[in-house]
Amino acid sequence: MNKLDTALVTSALEDAGFGFTDNVKQADVVLINTCSVRQHAEQRVLSQLGHLKHIKESRPDLVVGVIGCMAQRLGDKLLEHEVVNFVCGPTEIPQIKQLITKTLKEKKKSLAVTEKIRRKPSEQQSQALEEFESAYGIKDESIPAQAFVRVMRGCNNFCSYCVVPYVRGPEVSRRPEAIIEQIRKLADHGVKQVTLLGQTVNSYKYKKGEKTWSLADLLEAATDVEGIEWLRFVTSYPSEEFFDDIMQVMAGSPKVCEYLHMPAQSGSDKILLAMNRNYTAAGYLELLDRARAIVTGITIAGDFIVGFPGETEEDFQATVDLAEKARYKNAFIFKYSPRPGTTADKRLQDTVSAEVKQRRNVELLAVQEKISDELSRDLLGKQVQVLVEGLSKKSHVNIDRDENPQLIGRTSGDWIVVFNGPESSAGKFSQVTIESASPLTLFGRLAEL
Ligand code: SAH
Ligand code: SF4
């Protein structure tokens, strides 16, 4: 979601005539896009602001803007920071050009956050967001031939640990026509893979006359867009609603990637209840069985939070048990981080010590790594299709005999594949034969065609 917001802001500023630099010393304006999901992410921003303070000592005219969830969460407190010139929440980004221009001219501090964030957005605010998204969401050059498209904003789930509903506002599904039109324009710009985004993307719902559009309908309509070869969607909430329909579309269309990211968060029913997640461990695993029955070979990924308030050794073992049964390709594991304003923070004590959180994190990671390793081995010797993202991090070190650099790509099931090939393959599909595997990365060579 943040990557998409960065792409939108970049495109809006480009349109307004701004140029870009990676070198902070050359910049007149520095924008920091922020995340509030865990405290660690916010701490990193504060330390970035600390660095900027040194630069600003010698260049007092430098404009610093903080955008994103932390901007919305902290608002005027963040604006009080000596280096910050303006603060702009995620629901206010349509103002970004004006904010920068105004600050460059007037050198005054400005605050652009939504006051009553949980209130239904006004017609004017929704329209501004929609226009911004439609105008600037039509090219995204961060990864060649790939783009994100938001299908819904906000979230109404209120998982007890989560800050998202308080910083991104209520759930609103975008109009299907606007989404499809945006995908069409992206395809015109050479985009081949579109990832549909929503906090609970599978609960996308848009009522149009007699018909209520679901994510399944949206995916089906998107597969008709010429030029789009792969469609993905993240993140799914474990819910029965539309689940089989979405899986059917995945099974029926070669364009819908066989990949499901559906976090369980915990394997203990007691903790799931305290998290205000609306399912049991058994119900969750049943959904995975259904996904695997409908889409043979589907790859599944998940998220876990360890050390949620009240999590006992037994609860944690239930999570390990779930991970073993779920057999994810990969799982993102987070240590519980109390977020101010959330119900968990207000009502529950952060009882699990930092050491225990750390130990559980390491233990669960080891369990997951073993599964990832076993699953990645199944791909040894196989030929897979990948969409090439570009040079790998070690591209300049790992050059092959034909002087091809090392590239990185992903399969439809989201496996990362590293191989040597011409740099010009970025943004194109390649066939790669897998020769070796590590838990998170596959290594291969370009297949002879
Ligand atoms: N809307 C998505 C993603 C939400 S944030 C979803 O519901 O799946 C991404 C992940 O961060 C979550 O899945 C959760 O595992 C983690 N997370 C959210 N709040 C957290 C917190 N307070 N502490 C630790 N991890 C958290
Ligand atoms: Fe947060 Fe839950 Fe909404 Fe995901 S579904 S964004 S975890 S409140």
3-class SS of residue 165: helix
Nearest ligand for residue 278 CA: 2
CATH code that applies to domain 2-112: 3.40.50.12160
Is there an atom of ligand 1 within 6 Å of 11 CB? no
Write down the pLDDT at residue 107: 87
Residue 365 Cα to ligand 2 midpoint, Å, equals 22
Is the per-residue pLDDT at 43 higher than 90?
yes
Instruction: Report residue 46: phi and psi, to 5°.
Output: -60, -35
Q: What is the mean pLDDT of the chain?
A: 96
Please name the residue whose Cα sits nearest to atom 9 of ligand 1.
37
Is there an atom of ligand 2 within 6 Å of 113 CB? no
Is there an atom of ligand 1 within 6 Å of 386 CB? no
Ligand 2, atom nearest to 276 Cα: 2
For 144-173, what is the mean pLDDT?
97
| Alpha helices (H) along 23-95 | 39-58, 69-74, 76-79
Structurally, what CATH architecture does the domain formed by 270-378 represent? 2-Layer Sandwich (3.30)
Ligand 2, atom nearest to 265 Cα: 7
The pLDDT > 70 percentage for the chain reads 100
Copy the structure tokens of residue 378. 């199944």
Choose which residue among 3, 35, 152, 334 to substitute to test ligand 1 binding: the one with the highest number of ligand atoms within 8 A of its C-beta: 334
Residue 164 Cα to ligand 2 midpoint, Å, equals 6
Please name the residue whose Cα sits nearest to atom 12 of ligand 1.
303
For 130-140, what is the mean pLDDT?
95
Instruction: Categorize the per-residue pLDDT at 401 as very low, low, confident or very high, splitting at 50, 70 and 90.
Output: confident
3-class SS of residue 23: coil
CATH code that applies to domain 383-446: 2.40.50
The pLDDT > 90 percentage for the chain reads 95
Hey, what amino acid is at 167?
Answer: V
| Alpha helices (H) along 189-300 | 215-223, 243-252, 269-274, 281-294
- Greatest alpha-carbon span in the chain: 63
Please name the residue whose Cα sits nearest to atom 7 of ligand 1.
199
Write down the pLDDT at residue 399: 83
Q: Give DSSP secondary structure letters for 188-213.
A: HTT--EEEEE-TTGGG-EEEETTEEE
Q: Under a CB-based contact definition with an 8 Å cutoff, are residues 240 and 198 in contact?
A: no
Q: Do domains 143-257 and 383-446 have the same CATH topology?
A: no
Is there an atom of ligand 2 within 6 Å of 238 CB? no
For 324-341, what is the mean pLDDT?
98
Is the per-residue pLDDT at 403 higher than 90?
no
Q: Round to whole Å and give the CA distance between 184 and 166.
A: 32
Nearest ligand for residue 166 CA: 2
Is there an atom of ligand 1 within 6 Å of 202 CB? no
Q: Round to whole Å and give the CA distance between 445 and 442.
A: 10
Is there an atom of ligand 1 within 6 Å of 74 CB? no
Write down the pLDDT at residue 449: 66
Write down the pLDDT at residue 382: 97
Domain locations in the chain as residue ranges: 2-112, 143-257, 270-378, 383-446
Q: Under a CB-based contact definition with an 8 Å cutoff, are residues 199 and 152 in contact?
A: yes
CATH code that applies to domain 143-257: 3.30.750.210
For 209-218, what is the mean pLDDT?
96
